[in-house]
Amino acid sequence: MSGYGVTDLRVRYGSREAVDGVSFSVPGHTIAALVGGDGAGKTSVLRVLAGAIAPAGGTVRRPDEHRIGYMPAGEAVYRDLTVDENLAFSARAYGVRGPEAARRADELLERTGLGAARSRLGGQLSGGMRQKLALAMALLHQPELLVLDEPTTGIDPVSRAQLWRLIAGAAAAGAAVVVATCYVDEAERAATVVVLSDGQVLLEGSPEEVVARTPGVVVASAARLDPERSWLRGTRWRTWSPDGTVPPGATRAELDLEDAVIVAELERLPQGTGEVAA
């Protein structure tokens, strides 16, 4: 496989297998999105890729640690340092010094809209501003592999758009980007989507490939047609029909990545195990 990534990755916490046989690859200039629910194994995969934990098995392809940028899901910003001080620490840690460090910091602050907040403490920033600062810290040394764990979770749509501009910019500049997200619409921007469930790969490919591979049809209706195969999208229900029949009162829906991910989960679950929460 070309690019960075993992092959047959296994991660274990004690006796619990968190990741079991995950493989994917992300070349430079592209974005790979890891999608999955809570406990799917996204964070474990990213932690291995970033070098924070050791895998229990499999192979990991990543550059030297100086060329990895990592934004963990938790706190990545020092709350008792100012925006400038946080960036200066990151620059120094990765060996970016002097005018070059200042130039890159200025540029990132401008692109993130944090220029006016440079002397504010990390703890005084809003959640969105903190996420932007964390991303700026991960980008400052211009990494070849950028590993981002849910960078946009819990922040406003405007900040999300700003963050995605930065992420896309990093990929355009040549970085291989792996981003975990629980927003399927964000995953549609990626070249490769890896859908994880219970530590295993459920689907993998470009968003179009993943959608095209969905078995049966998905129909739209005003009423809930099947308690186990229906989910609400906006104000209307969608229902997966594995055999391709369109029930009366329903119309065939235009499938998107979110539907494809839900269908993949439904397909994996044995019948009678409950309803879809989406």
Partner 1 sequence: MWAMVQKEFRQLRRDRRTVAMMIVMPLVLLIVFGYAASFDVTEIKTVVVGPDAQAAADRLRAPFVVDRVEPASTREDAVDILRDGRAQAAIVTVAGGQPQALIDGADLFAARAAVNALGQAAAQAGQPAPQPEVLFNPDLKTSVIMVPGLVGVILVFIGVVATSLGVVRERQAGTLEQLAVMPFRPADVFIGKILPYFLIAAIDLTVITIVGNTLFDVPFRGSVLTLALGATLFLFVTLGLGVLISTVSQNQGQAIQLAFMTVLPQILLSGLLFPLHSMAAGVRWIGYLLPLTYFIQLSRGVMVRGTPIDALVLPLTMLAVLGVAVFGLSLIRFRRDLAPGGRARTEAAEESTTVPAGAR
Question: Should residue 50 be labelled a site residue for partner 1 when binding is judged by CB under 8 A?
Answer: yes
CA atoms of 188 and 215, how far apart (whole Å): 19
* Residue 82, token pair as written in the block: 């100012």
Cβ of residue 99: shortest distance to partner 1, in angstroms? 21
* Stretch of 16-24, 53-61, 110-118, 153-161 contacting partner 1, by CB under 8 A: 53-61
Binds partner 1 (CB under 8 A): choice among 53, 121, 182, 255: 53
Task: Provide the b/e sequence for 202-229 (b: ≥16 CB within 10 Å).
Answer: bbbeebeebbeebeebbbbbeeebbeeb
Question: Should residue 213 be labelled a site residue for partner 1 when binding is judged by CB under 8 A?
Answer: no
Integer CA distances (angstroms), 158 to 12, 98, 113, 152, in order: 37, 32, 11, 11
Binds partner 1 (CB under 8 A): choice among 15, 16, 38, 74: 74
How would you class 64 by CB atoms within 10 Å of its CB: exposed for 0-12, middle for 13-18, buried for 19 or more? exposed
CA atoms of 55 and 52, how far apart (whole Å): 10
Question: Should residue 76 be labelled a site residue for partner 1 when binding is judged by CB under 8 A?
Answer: yes
Within 124-256, where are the H helices?
127-139, 157-172, 184-187, 207-212
Cβ of residue 158: shortest distance to partner 1, in angstroms? 25
* Residue 275, token pair as written in the block: 């309803």
Binds partner 1 (CB under 8 A): choice among 39, 59, 213, 249: 59
How many helices (H) and strands (E) are present in the chain, helices listed first? Answer: 8, 13
Convert residues 134-163 into a mask of x (bound to partner 1 by CB under 8 A) and - (unbound): ----------x-------------------
* Residue 271, token pair as written in the block: 């019948």
* Stretch of 74-82, 124-132, 188-196, 228-236 contacting partner 1, by CB under 8 A: 74-82
Cβ of residue 159: shortest distance to partner 1, in angstroms? 20
Binds partner 1 (CB under 8 A): choice among 36, 41, 55, 128: 55
Positions that interact with partner 1 (CB under 8 A): 3-4, 7, 9-10, 47, 50-68, 70, 72, 74-79, 93-95, 144
